[in-house]
Chains A and B, each alone.
Chain A
Amino acid sequence: MSTTGKVTGIIANLVTVEVNGPVAQNEICYIKLGDTKLMAEVIKVNGKFASVQVYESTRGVKKGNDVEFMGFMLEATLGPGLLSSNYDGLQNNLSTMTGVFLQRGEYTAPIDMDKEWEFSPIAKPGDKVVAADWLGEIKEGWLPHKIMVPFSFKGEYTVKSVNPQGSYKASDTVAVVTDENGEDHNVTMVQKWPVKVAIGGYKEKPRPYRIMETGVRCIDTLNPMAEGGTGFIPGPFGCGKTVLQHAIAKQGEADVIIMAACGERANEVVEIFAEFPELVDARTGRKLSERTTIICNTSNMPVAAREASVYTAMTIGEYYRAMGLKVLLLADSTSRWAQALREMSNRMEELPGADAFPVDLPAIISNFYARAGIVKLNNGSTGSVTFIGTVSPAGGNLKEPVTESTKKAARCFYALNQSRADRKRYPAVDPIDSYSKYLEYPEIAEYLNAKVDPQWVEKVNKAKNYIIRGKEAYEQINILGDDGVPMEYHSRYWKSELIDFIILQQDAFDSIDCSTPMDRQEFMLNKVLEVCEAPVKFEDFEECANFYKGIINVMRQMNYSVYKSAEFEKYLEQLNKTINHDN
């Protein structure tokens, strides 16, 4: 007999329920409203009263409405068919919903249980297995999708049988495993997992040791993101957060992309719906949509489901990681999730922390970021979840609670700068404030020096140094005037402008410039440094400015040309002439 209850109070989407039996924190319940059932989650229990946050509008709910408790937490359904699906924050499939409007209480299945998949066995009868070990494999699009011992299975099991190669429904039993007590358990292609609990089942979680390429120069060259790493992009509105995140999603060197649109604009998600089925992944030649799952809880969808949306996204990411795949998880924006927590904390009349956010906000954020990482699986292969979240700081002020808490949790910081955006210097990532802690990791430096260029990290630091010295020179010029500073200051300033225009700035809407592979980034950085180090002398500052402006113009044309094409080589020749002529 499951627990039931009756509604006793309502403030917006916080409902108080008087219960007649045991309830668990975070247990799911349904409020009955005529024929409609509204899904809700227990967030506080006090005596026989449970406070529940409702994932839907509470319009029309009355005192005395019946509530039915389900005995489980909010769970994600994991199995083949997740990729290229479009879900809401509770993993309802948006594409199978009827009608133009989202109807309250309409819940759709995340996975088509009747769809057949071509299964081939991996494990053999007699094998000893534990949770997350691979039993078999199906092809989800072009990706090998492993059928695993369900994560919820505790202890060691012996494989009793695995189905032979063949076509099976997602709901069919494909393997039987026996536990230590001799009891048999059927395994299908689909399993469930509570989203707020991290999926384990791996051997170890080493420090990230290799790079995840994004094709974005100001990230890959200057502040690289590690595979299995964490990063965040804070920025005032209008600084290009979304454009940058979409660029990373399109170009990121990952097997699986999961995008959680958390409390953001619906039209941005529509852009993904419209573009991703058309765009082709350069590395695999397959459509981007085939490797992408979208979890979409836009700003006008129920506030309580925002939190669920990021956890659901992370859980799906961890599921694919356990198959030995590279997952890139993007969440836009974690501030909206924090605001949802604030709304609820406020309605529960909790004592507020800074800016009325709940006091445990830093802990919630750091726990979430900690779920990312590269892992060694039990069978020796690796899988990873790389997480990049955006933060929308109120008033563009980076000293607000969400930004500060995230800064403590994430290892890469891509600060978007309002004045760069005002001057249309996109991506507006501030080259001086931003950092990647991974650049300091010896294992990452070793990887970069081996893969890109033997002195790569040194060169990157050199470029950063030019930028900083250029900024200092610019400030001096502004204080003392063009004539009041030594000639050297002008060339310092223009060298930093060169790096800014050629390496940092990138046209996300140009079909060539939008994505730069690592070998091309290496070539351009070397070229830029060559120009910076060329011993040129100028008579006056106007000559200096014109010299570098000319170079910037030529190198920009190079950025717009196909790498190593005749056009590219023509500009390169022109560039080499300019440098050597003035020598």
Chain B
Amino acid sequence: MTTKAFQRIYTQLEAITKATVALKAQGVSNDELATVDGRLAQVVKIKGDLVTLQVFSGTEGIPTDSEVIFFGEAPSLHVSEDLAGRFFNAYGDPIDNGPKVDGEKRFIGGPSVNPYRRKQPSQLIPTGIAGIDLNNTLVSGQKIPFFANADQPYNQVMANVALRADVDKIILGGMGLSNDDYLYFKQMFENAGALNKIISFVNTTEQPPVERLLIPDMALTAAEYFAVDKNEKVLVLLTDMTLYADALSIVSNRMDQIPSKDSMPGSLYSDLAKIYEKAVQLPDGGSITIIAVTTLNDGDITHAIPDNTGYITEGQLFLRTDTDTGKVIIDPFRSLSRLKQLVIGKQTREDHGQVMNTGVRLFADAANAKTKLENGFDLSDYDLRCLDYAKDYSNKLLAIDVNITIDQMLDTAWDLFGKYFKPEELSIKQNLVDKYWKGN
């Protein structure tokens, strides 16, 4: 950003915290950008002549006589087709040694789509993973996070899902991405030969945390350009939203706001909703689908970040290691896709809904049998069959390394039902049992 003639320059800071500075200034507007000692900052509070700025890269080493230059406008991104295949930092500047992207200037964090103009999501996104396609089917225009502990391979699963999905553009918003994971994504995309449809906005762990706050808005501004202006199907990947929320709490804390649950700002719900609600099916065919990652502390989904996320997103995909098979599975109890009803049995086979429910219910019965076993009780014949079924079900359907079509998933489920159960134990509609039953 270069200095222009009409810009206002100040040189006297009144207050400095770890994330913000305050100074006396005139004619400043809310949300506008500035530089403080050359670092990018944004106006977050105006009280009389006192203006508070949040400094994205932190305030280490900023002196009270820093030069503050106001730009008179909110953060923006230049959008054009040339964004495709490029890597950017949180400010939208290239980090791949390529040229600056020219194009129309769009302010980030723009207005919401009129809910009346939205269309109902209706296109199934197949991923080949049965824990997703069979039990928690994804639909374009949906927003859904992976809930995973830090040690689970969530970025790998997400990359797989992205590359298998039939979309026009994939936009990666990396927040606090480890350098290793950043390179992993880069290599994955290159190997898949898909680089030309991928755009990345990346903030790694080596960069200051407050910068992350810009990443989702940058990624979604680019997404809206392709989805609204070009009617393209866009998939946005956001990882890791827990680190984004942590950055929010840092800023709110420095501004002396009263924290609510888990020391998160009281506005956490609205802050997260503003991002996730950008997922949309547009009337002219374009769509934005958001798949995010929210890392958990030891599976605790009652923490404010996953909790608020769950209330905003259309379901969640819960990764867990199955102790019986040692495989990472999509937990059928805690996972949910709220939009699956829009495609199940409509774009998939008629028996999908009932097979899905019965499969999970039997898996739950197996969990009960396991509890009985652990408590030292005798197991009934049904309990034993459930336990055997659960191992097969986990291996052949829930594991994340499965890659088959939805019809194959349904057939596999009927195979397992026939192998371990009697038709009357399924509680499935009789006409479907008559048609698909594979047992004796």
Instruction: Name the one of B74, B113, B333, B376 contacting A422, with C-beta atoms under 8 angstroms.
Output: B333
Instruction: Name the one of A396, A484, A542, A553 contacting B302, with C-beta atoms under 8 angstroms.
Output: A396
Asked whether A266 lies within 8 Å of B118 as measured between CB atoms, the reply is yes
What is the distance, in angstroms, from B395's C-beta to the closest C-beta of chain A?
Answer: 21
B119: Cβ under 8 A from any A Cβ: yes
A481 partner residues in chain B, CB cutoff 8 A: 372, 375-378
Asked whether B382 lies within 8 Å of A545 as measured between CB atoms, the reply is yes
A126: Cβ under 8 A from any B Cβ: no
Q: Output the residue of B273, B303, B314 with the most chain A CB within 10 A.
A: B273
Instruction: Name the one of B29, B280, B425 contacting A61, with C-beta atoms under 8 angstroms.
Output: B29
A155: Cβ under 8 A from any B Cβ: no
B141: Cβ under 8 A from any A Cβ: yes
B299: Cβ under 8 A from any A Cβ: no
A115: Cβ under 8 A from any B Cβ: no
Q: Output the residue of B44, B117, B381 with the most chain A CB within 10 A.
A: B117
- Please, what's the 1-or-0 string for A339-350, where 1 marks a CB less than 8 Å from any CB in chain B? 110110011000
- Please, what's the 1-or-0 string for A217-242, where 1 marks a CB less than 8 Å from any CB in chain B? 00000000000000000001110001
| Bound Cα distance from A394 to B311, whole angstroms | 9
Asked whether B381 lies within 8 Å of A270 as measured between CB atoms, the reply is no
Asked whether B118 lies within 8 Å of A267 as measured between CB atoms, the reply is yes
What is the distance, in angstroms, from A418's C-beta to the closest C-beta of chain B?
Answer: 9
| Bound Cα distance from A63 to B51, whole angstroms | 10
Cβ-closest chain A residue relative to B139: A267
Contact A100/B228 with A270-B118, A395-B307 known, Cβ cut-off 8 Å? yes
| Bound Cα distance from A440 to B429, whole angstroms | 38
| Bound Cα distance from A296 to B117, whole angstroms | 13
Residues of chain A from 228 to 275 with CB closer than 8 A to chain B in the complex = 236-238, 242, 263, 265-267, 269-271, 273-274
B312 partner residues in chain A, CB cutoff 8 A: 265, 299
B156: Cβ under 8 A from any A Cβ: no
A381 partner residues in chain B, CB cutoff 8 A: none
B112: Cβ under 8 A from any A Cβ: yes
Instruction: Name the one of B257, B304, B361, B375 contacting A394, with C-beta atoms under 8 angstroms.
Output: B304
Contact A271/B120 with A299-B312, A355-B261 known, Cβ cut-off 8 Å? yes
Asked whether A60 lies within 8 Å of B74 as measured between CB atoms, the reply is yes
B339: Cβ under 8 A from any A Cβ: yes
Asked whether B353 lies within 8 Å of A509 as measured between CB atoms, the reply is yes
B285 partner residues in chain A, CB cutoff 8 A: none
B28 partner residues in chain A, CB cutoff 8 A: 62-63
Asked whether B114 lies within 8 Å of A274 as measured between CB atoms, the reply is no
Asked whether B302 lies within 8 Å of A101 as measured between CB atoms, the reply is no
Asked whether B110 lies within 8 Å of A346 as measured between CB atoms, the reply is no
B61: Cβ under 8 A from any A Cβ: no
| Bound Cα distance from A396 to B334, whole angstroms | 13
| Bound Cα distance from A222 to B241, whole angstroms | 42
Asked whether B257 lies within 8 Å of A346 as measured between CB atoms, the reply is yes
B101: Cβ under 8 A from any A Cβ: no
- Please, what's the 1-or-0 string for A374-408, where 1 marks a CB less than 8 Å from any CB in chain B? 00000000000000000010111100000000000
- Please, what's the 1-or-0 string for B247-272, where 1 marks a CB less than 8 Å from any CB in chain A? 00000000001111100001101100
| Bound Cα distance from A552 to B382, whole angstroms | 16
Of A5-13, A132-140, A199-207, A523-531, the one with at least 4 CB within 8 A of chain B:
A5-13
A57 partner residues in chain B, CB cutoff 8 A: 111
Asked whether A9 lies within 8 Å of B261 as measured between CB atoms, the reply is no
Residues of chain A from 534 to 583 with CB closer than 8 A to chain B in the complex = 541-542, 545, 549-550, 552-553, 556-557, 560
Contact A482/B378 with A94-B116, A99-B114, A104-B111 known, Cβ cut-off 8 Å? yes
Instruction: Name the one of A236, A274, A482 contacting B380, with C-beta atoms under 8 angstroms.
Output: A482
Cβ-closest chain A residue relative to B383: A482
Asked whether A482 lies within 8 Å of B377 as measured between CB atoms, the reply is yes
B165: Cβ under 8 A from any A Cβ: no
Cβ-closest chain A residue relative to B345: A509
Contact A11/B333 with A394-B304, A482-B377 known, Cβ cut-off 8 Å? no
Q: How many residues of B contact A (CB 8 A)?
A: 85
Instruction: Name the one of B107, B273, B282, B429 contacting A299, with C-beta atoms under 8 angstroms.
Output: B273
Cβ-closest chain B residue relative to A425: B361
Contact A395/B302 with A101-B111, A267-B118, A483-B378 known, Cβ cut-off 8 Å? yes
A298: Cβ under 8 A from any B Cβ: yes
- Please, what's the 1-or-0 string for B88-124, where 1 marks a CB less than 8 Å from any CB in chain A? 0000000000000000000101111111111111000
Asked whether B120 lies within 8 Å of A274 as measured between CB atoms, the reply is yes
A296 partner residues in chain B, CB cutoff 8 A: 115-116
Q: Output the residue of A10, A95, A104 with the most chain B CB within 10 A.
A: A10
Contact A266/B115 with A343-B267, A482-B377 known, Cβ cut-off 8 Å? yes
Asked whether B424 lies within 8 Å of A269 as measured between CB atoms, the reply is no
A452: Cβ under 8 A from any B Cβ: no
B74 partner residues in chain A, CB cutoff 8 A: 59-60
Q: Output the residue of A237, A267, A560 with the most chain B CB within 10 A.
A: A267
Asked whether B30 lies within 8 Å of A395 as measured between CB atoms, the reply is no
Residues of chain B from 20 to 75 with CB closer than 8 A to chain A in the complex = 26-32, 44-49, 74
A321: Cβ under 8 A from any B Cβ: no
A102: Cβ under 8 A from any B Cβ: yes
What is the distance, in angstroms, from B293's C-beta to the closest C-beta of chain A?
Answer: 17
Asked whether A62 lies within 8 Å of B116 as measured between CB atoms, the reply is no
Q: Output the residue of B118, B119, B314, B380 with the most chain A CB within 10 A.
A: B118
Which residues of A are at the interface with B, using a C-beta cutoff of 8 A? 8-12, 16, 57-64, 86, 94-95, 97, 99-104, 236-238, 242, 263, 265-267, 269-271, 273-274, 296, 298-301, 303, 336, 339-340, 342-343, 346-347, 352, 355-356, 392, 394-397, 422-424, 478, 481-484, 501, 509, 541-542, 545, 549-550, 552-553, 556-557, 560
Query: What are 28 pairs between A and B in contact, CB < 8 Å?
Result: A11-B45, A11-B46, A12-B267, A59-B107, A61-B29, A62-B27, A62-B28, A94-B114, A102-B113, A267-B121, A267-B339, A300-B277, A303-B270, A336-B269, A339-B267, A339-B270, A340-B270, A355-B261, A395-B307, A396-B302, A396-B307, A422-B334, A423-B333, A423-B361, A424-B361, A424-B364, A509-B341, A542-B382
Contacts A336-B269, A343-B266 known; 20 new A-B pairs at CB < 8 A? A9-B47, A12-B44, A57-B111, A59-B74, A63-B28, A101-B110, A101-B113, A102-B111, A103-B111, A237-B311, A265-B314, A267-B142, A267-B279, A301-B112, A342-B260, A395-B303, A397-B302, A481-B372, A481-B377, A557-B429
